[in-house]
Each structure stands twice: as C-alpha cells, then as structure tokens.
Structure 1
C-alpha cells in the first residue's frame, strides 16, 4: 500500500498541473473589439482600430473596397493592446473588407476579417431645391378708363373770343345803320328849324 501511495501522489500531482495549465496554454490572444464592428454600416470612416486581449506585434492590415479594389492605408500603429491605421482618402459608398494579421504575445500569429458598409450620406436640399419665399403678386398696371362717347367724338370748333363777344353783346350791324340814318335825319330837322328864324330877319 505504501508503494502504491508513493506512486499515485506524483501522478495525481502531474494530472492536476496539466488540468490547471492546459486552459491557459490553449487560450491564445484574440481580437476583443474593432472599429468598425463586423457587418457594421457607417456613413464615414476615418480610423480603423483593432483591440486585442493582449499586446500585439508585427501588425498587418489590408483594406479592400467595392469590387475588391485595394484602398491605401497608413502604416499600422501599435499602442498597448490596440492597433490602428487610417485610410489615405475618403471612402466612397459601398462594401469594404478589412483583413488583419498580428503576432500575439506568445509568438502565435492570429488573423481575421471584418466586413462593413459605407452608406450614402443623408440627402440635403440643394440651393435650387430650397423653396423660395412666397412673394406678393406684382401690382398690375391700372387700366385707362374707357373713353366716353363724348370724348371719342371730334370736338366742335370753338370760335375766337372776339367773335363770341360780338355775337353775344351789343346790337346787330344793320340796327346800327338804321339808328345812324334816324339820327342823321333828326339832326337835319333840328338844323333846318334853327335856321328859319334867322332867314326871316335878314
């Protein structure tokens, strides 16, 4: 029995060590979070950021755009457990794929892919589509008053003022002639009457 116990104790200890250390040996570093997230839809993207469970080294990040066209990126930067990079230009609308590869703290390389979509920006009204402010209707020119029947008829000729004065004041010419004859006759009678007495005295 003593021999059996002495043989079993080291064996049990070895098994316990293997059981305790196996999960740690099998648990490699992994990707913890990312920006953008896998299958995310974004309106724009300025920075690609990958966060791991431990410090990473020798990062490699590749970005493919619509149609599998490569998109230029800045050199990846490592800050602790984070690896980041930036697109050199503005990403157009479409589907993209990030392929990454790093070497974990235990020297084991890990890699993966992240897919995302850049959506179209919200439409904004263009200057031509902006509704113009309502304006009051322009005043219509006043129409000229309709001409009356009297104004349409030609005006009658107007006699000069002197003619009108002669026609409306004084006596007619023939009446003046008659009066002149009467006055002349009366004067002749008076003159003849005054001369008769003198003629008799002479």
Structure 2
C-alpha cells in the first residue's frame, strides 16, 4: 500500500478545511432605513420620493407604478450619500401605487425592494390621464443600464479561486512526487 506524501496530504487537508468552513454570508448589506412615502402609507399627494439607506449607495434606480402596472413619470434619481430622491413629474391620480427601487450597497452588492402605498382622494378624469404611460422613455429607464447584474447566490468567487489554486498545487506536487518515486525504488534496489 502506498502512502501519500506530506505535501499531498497538506493540500487535501486544506481543501477539506475550505469545504468544511465556507465563508459566512454577508450580513452587512445595507438596507432601506426610511422611505417617504412609507410602506403601506396613505398620502394626499406625492411630489417627491425619498429613500434613505443605512449607508451610502450607488447607481440608484427608482420606478413608480400604478395598480394597473403603468409607469408613472419620475425625474432621474438624485443621490446624496445614503439618500436617493426622485421627483414625480406630473400629478398622480388617487389609488394604489408601488415604488420599485434598486441600488448597489456600499459593499458592492445590489439590493432592491418595493414600497406599496395609496394616494387618497377621488378619481378625476384629468388625473387618470396622467397615469397613462407615454411612448417616450423616461430618464429613469436610462439609468437601468448602469446597475450591474445581481450577484449569484452561493459560494463566493474567492473560495472557488482558492480551491482551484489548491488543486493546481496538489497536481504539481503529485506529478513531482510520482516522477521521483521510480528513482527512489532504483536506489533501494541497489
């Protein structure tokens, strides 16, 4: 029975440690601290949306939809540290609305969410016409390309890189050891 050389055992042990104790998930992602309007709030009017996060964020993306899923016009989101602000570009009709937002947190991971709320009042024909989507793209749609794709869940890339490095080191050690093994057998035979 052949025993594995110490470097190969060391590489195998290091791989076992990496696989046994994976990196813990990131619990420090920034979160939405406060919003105006607040979740499930009832407001009489809406001129501006304000989202405040627990830390500074990047690449803000904010969209406002009515109950029918029609997009309501917003200005390009402005960023000031942990606060994102977007102005409503026209009057909105009473009814249910949802703010959909997405930002890149200070740790580089995208976070997103939705904030449902209601606008109080009676529905008027003039106000209903303002919620009809226009064929012209809004400024918010252009910022969508700046948001990087969501990072896949699972094992972080640095662990895969470390494991690949260990496999390469283990293979080099195994090849070197196997090339030396016939020399040792010849020396023992003499």
Q: What TM-score, normalized by structure 2, do the two folds share?
A: 0.50
Question: Can you give the 5+ residue segments of structure 2 that lack an aligned partner in the other structure?
Answer: 1-20, 123-190
Correspondence for 2:91: 90
Higher RCO (CA 8 Å, separation ≥ 6 residues): 2
SS of aligned partner of 2:68: helix
- Counterpart in the other structure of 1:80: 81
RMSD: 1.9
Partner of 1:9: none
Alignment of 1:31-50 (within 5 A): 31-50=32-51
Q: 1:91 Cα deviation (Å)? A: 1.1
- Give secondary structure in 2 for the equivalent of 1:117: strand
The ranges of structure 1 where at least 4 consecutive aligned residues each deviate by more than 3 angstroms after the TM superposition are: none
The residue aligned with 1:106 is 107
Number of matched residues?
101
Who is 1:117 aligned against?
Answer: 118
1: CA distance, partners of 2:84 / 2:71 = 20
Please give the residue correspondences for 1:1-202 in structure 2 after superposition, counting only pairs within 5 Å: 25-120=26-121
What is the TM-score normalised by the length of structure 1?
Answer: 0.47
Alpha-carbon shift at residue 28 of structure 1 (Å): 1.1
Unaligned 5+ runs, structure 1: 1-17, 122-202
Q: In the aligned structure 2, how far is the partner of 1:30 from the partner of 1:67? A: 28
